[in-house]
Structures are given as C-alpha cells and as structure tokens.
Structure 1
Amino acid sequence: MNDNNPRRECNMAMETCVLGGGCFWCLDTSFRLVEGVEQVVCGYAGGHDPAPRYEAVCRGATGHAEVVELTYDPAVIGFRDLLTIFFALHDPTTLNRQGNDVGTQYRSAIFTLNETQAREAREVIAELEDDYSAPIVTEVAPLEAFHPAEEYHQDYFTKNPGNAYCQFVIPPKRQKLIQRFSDRLKG
C-alpha cells in the first residue's frame, strides 16, 4: 500500500481500547469519523457468558456491556483524547442507562488492556468530575474478553438509515461530535 501519510510511516504500531457508553451503534458511528481511528468493532465485554449473542445481552442475561473496540494510531490521537470524546458522547453519571436504553448492558465502562490505560482512565474521570452535577459512575475494569457482535451490528447507522433509532437517537450524538471536535475529524 502506497499511502503518502507521513504519520503512518512513522508509527505503524496501532493501539486498542474498549469503551461502553450505551448502545454500541451510537459510539460506532461517531468514532468512525475520528481521525486516527482506523477500525471500530461493535461487541460485548464485561460479562460471564463465553459466547454472548445480542438477544441475550439485550435481556441483561449475560452481564455484558455493549461496547466498541477502537483500533487507533497513537501518533494521530491518544487514549486520553479518545476518552475526552467518549465522555462527551454519553452521560457517564447515569448508572446502567443512556436515555431510553436501560440495563447493565448500557452501562458506562472503560475496559482496560493494561495498567497505563487503567491509570489514565481514572485520571481523566477525576479531571472531569467537577464538570458534572452528579458523580461519574463509569466502570473502569480490566478487559477479560472482547466478543465481536454479529455482523449486522457493524456500521449499523450507515447500513440502516431508515431505522428509527438511526434517525432520532444517533444524529444528535454525531452532531455533538462534529460541533465539539471538528478539529479531530477525518477530512
């Protein structure tokens, strides 16, 4: 691949993080717009079922949260920057709920891959605490396993523009991203 991006030539080492902030479709469609995010995969983390399926996760039967796994270029965007965007896209003060989506599967969570991510996540939460009128309840836990969601959930917004959720819930989050982080979006 001959891509004239000097950043790519300098740093071929990608990093990964796993974030849960309500319905994974919302985070998926927003993070796909962020410069430096190379891949977004919807999935499940933080539960006890070794092979979670969407229907069971939605019933709250598996203990999993709906999450996105982000693969990103740290030479372009750092973990802390991703967390800043993450916190702006959802309400980290509501326990097991984002809007009308209610249940532990919609909890705010950062599933960390190493101690550096865990430390940085706790630091960012501490820095943001005064910005909210209620305590941040975002779970910070080591990632035990990430399970990719079924294929039809990947890039759901693009594939299903007529879906009511895609018409009413996702666009305000995308608009918030565009307004607050226009300098961080792909050209």
Structure 2
Amino acid sequence: MTVAKDIAKEIEGVLISIPYVIGNDIIKTDAKVVVIIFPVYMWGIPLIIERFIKNFEDINDKYVYAIATHGGMPGVAINILEKVIESCKGKLSAGFTVNMPGNYVPKYGSFPEEKQKELFDNWDKKVKIIAEYIKINKQGKKENNNMIVNLLFSNLIYNHSSKNIAKMDKNFWIDEKCNKCGICQKICPV
C-alpha cells in the first residue's frame, strides 16, 4: 500500500483498489495512464491481477505501467504481466520491481528494522525515477531477474504452482498469539 500511495502522490493520480472493482464484468477508466501495483507471488503475478487485466476495457488505448513489490527476488513477474496485457491487445509501457520487507513470515520471519529502513530509503529514491517515467509516458524499461534465475525458478515454479495459489490459504490458521484485530482479513484481496 505504501508503494501505491507514494506513486499516486508523485504523479497526482487516483488510487483504485483492484479488489474493489474486480467484481465488475468490465473495468473502465477515462485515464490514459494506468499503473498496476502488485506483490510478487512465487516469482509471478497474483491471479487477481490476471483477472483484473482481462476485464479491463480498452487497455490497448492506455499507457500501462507496472510496479511489482517483492521481498526476495522479483522473478519474471513483469514478463508474465506483459504477456497477459499483450493477450488483451495492450502494451506494457514499462515495468519496475521494488524490494520491500517480505511478508511471507512463515518462511523467513520479519526483516530486522535496519534492513527495513534501508529498503524504505531505497524506495524513497526509486519512486521519483518511476514517477518521471509515468509523467512523460516514457517506455521501455522492464526489470526482472537474470535469464538463468528466470528459467530455472520463475517459469518452472510459477507455471506449475500458480494454479494452486487459491488453495494455499487453506493452511493459514491463527493461534493464541492472534489478537483477532481482523487486519489480515481486511487487507487480503482474496
């Protein structure tokens, strides 16, 4: 959410929540520029992002930018998104990746505060660069991992695992440490 708010502020844009509009059969906007911000899932894109793109009207008439946030490696998330957009007759103008504190705490816990500060400081610099791209409709940049990482991990893992993403939350549970605040339920789009 930080990335989306910061970009919207820099480009004087309007935030639209994907979960809020995903139920619409057709997603419309008069904006000429669309910025899609999403977290990387298994070195790819969340399935809700694919559904969003496929319901987007006139994506071929838009400058489309992508920002993928990741805690580890971004993998081929930008490439996958680009293929989905192209399958809907659109074009990805540019795609960026932003390393942020990871949120998959079962795997690696939370990042130390000094590491989090470093990542946020890096984001504060990068937001200006991305905003300049968007403001002048600059095209071309597509950030990803190197080809070997993409081939070995991203394509294999994402292609074989993405169909199971919807089932993965079945293993999520709470214990006595949960204070039942409901934040996880409110912010999870699925």
- Answer yes or no: same fold by TM over 0.5: no
Which structure has the greater CA radius of gyration?
A: 2
Bigger fraction of residues in helix: 2
TM-score w.r.t. length of structure 1:
0.31
Larger RCO (CA within 8 A; separation ≥ 6): 1
TM-score w.r.t. length of structure 2:
0.31
